Amino acid sequence: MDNITQRFLKPKEGLIVRDPKTKIPLSEAGQVKPWIGPEGRYWRRRVKVGDASIINPPQNKKKS
Tell whether 60 is covered by a domain. no
Look at residue 59 and tell me whether its pLDDT is greater than 80.
Answer: yes
- pLDDT tens-digit series, residues 10-56: 999 999 999 999 999 999 999 999 999 999 999 999 999 999 999 99
40 or 57: whose pLDDT is higher?
A: 40
Tell whether 61 is covered by a domain. no
Tell whether 41 is covered by a domain. yes
Note the pLDDT of residue 4. Answer: 81
* Domain that includes residue 21, residue range: 6-54
Number of domain units in the chain: 1
Confidence of residue 1 (pLDDT cuts 50, 70, 90): low
Tell whether 64 is covered by a domain. no
CA angle 60, 61, 64 (to 5 degrees): 140
63 or 44: whose pLDDT is higher?
A: 44
